[in-house]
Amino acid sequence: MIIQDPTPRTKKVDDYDFLFDSGFLLPLTVDPSLGDTIEFSDVGVKINLVGKPSTTDPDQFTPPEDHTIFTRHLCAVTHRVREAPVVTKEQKTEWVRTIQEISKSVH
């Protein structure tokens, strides 16, 4: 894949790891720029994730998700802020074209 625009664009996203008392770990990424929200209270955590473009097909969207996590079930919450690349429509199109070319050469 050839990137025509060498200027990388990024946005900040919040990564959370929720560790439950059962040992189950639930990792979630909250992207406020797309409309995701997270609210902490004494009772629990309310997370609203909007539908996002699919990682395998940029023309498809994942369904929106709502999560309610009660604090009595949590052992720990880890929060990280990271910079994620912003991919343009042209880059998505180029990515799909490249993947299709590679898949043809494998057969």
pLDDT of residue 86: 82
How many folded domains does the chain comprise? 1
pLDDT of residue 105: 67
pLDDT tens digit at each of 107 positions of the chain: 555 656 668 899 999 999 999 999 999 999 999 899 999 999 999 999 999 877 677 678 889 999 999 999 999 999 999 998 887 777 778 877 888 888 776 65
d(CA 107, CA 96): 17
Q: What are the φ/ψ torsions at residue 92 (nearest 5 degrees)?
A: -65, -45
Instruction: Give domain status of residue 49, yes or no.
Output: yes
Instruction: Give domain status of residue 4, yes or no.
Output: no
Instruction: Give domain status of residue 35, yes or no.
Output: yes
Instruction: Give domain status of residue 5, yes or no.
Output: no
Instruction: Give domain status of residue 56, yes or no.
Output: yes
Instruction: Give domain status of residue 3, yes or no.
Output: no
Instruction: Give domain status of residue 78, yes or no.
Output: yes
Tell me which long-range contacts 62-67 makes (C-beta under 8 A, separation of at least 24): 67/28
| Structural domain boundaries enclosing 101 | 10-106
Instruction: Give domain status of residue 48, yes or no.
Output: yes
d(CA 15, CA 37): 12
